């Protein structure tokens, strides 16, 4: 598979270990490529201008601007960017807010196979909202 045909993912999470683990897990998939990452919503807004991402994995809770606030901006500024919310929060209200603001998926960080399922479903034109189990 050529680099050009891979789906380019951008990871946004304030925890370096989470970003590293997601990168390692997802780069093992031949159809995926990590094109960049950011430790905050503000950093993501700056970097996304030049990274040409197809999809963003966004942490819901970050210091400063939250992932949900970032989602609202990304939906307006990058309408073609698929946004998947990745969270430690299994509360339905977070998932509902994410859906309301245009997320294509909401999955829990501790469920890496759900993250992979979500990416595949979103690439197929579907949505994926799962709060564990």
- DSSP per-residue codes, 3-41: GGGSEEEEEE-S-HHHHHHHHHHHHTSTTEEEEEEESSH
Domain count across the chain: 1
pLDDT tens per residue across all 133 residues of the chain: 577 789 999 999 999 999 999 999 999 999 999 999 999 999 999 999 998 899 999 999 999 999 999 999 999 999 999 999 999 988 889 999 999 999 999 999 988 899 999 999 999 999 999 986 5
Three-state DSSP class for residue 76: helix
User: 11 Cβ partners below 8 Å, 6+ apart?
Assistant: 19, 22, 23, 34, 36, 37, 38, 56, 57
Domain that residue 35 falls in: 3-129
What does the pLDDT read at residue 42?
97
What does the pLDDT read at residue 102?
96
Look up the CATH number of the domain holding residue 24.
3.40.50.2300
């Amino acid at each position: 598979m050529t680099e050009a045909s891979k789906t380019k993912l951008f990871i946004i999470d304030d925890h370096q270990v989470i970003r590293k683990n997601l990168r390692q897990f997802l780069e093992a998939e031949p159809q995926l490529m990590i094109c960049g990452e950011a430790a905050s919503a503000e950093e993501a807004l700056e970097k996304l201008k030049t990274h040409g991402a197809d999809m963003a994995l966004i942490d819901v809770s970050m210091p400063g601007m939250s992932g949900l606030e970032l989602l609202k901006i990304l939906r307006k500024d990058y309408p073609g960017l698929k946004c998947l919310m990745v969270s430690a929060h299994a509360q339905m209200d977070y998932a509902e807010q994410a859906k309301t603001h245009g997320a294509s998926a909401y999955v829990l960080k501790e469920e890496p196979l759900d993250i992979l399922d979500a990416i595949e479903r979103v690439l197929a034109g579907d949505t994926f909202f799962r709060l564990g189990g």
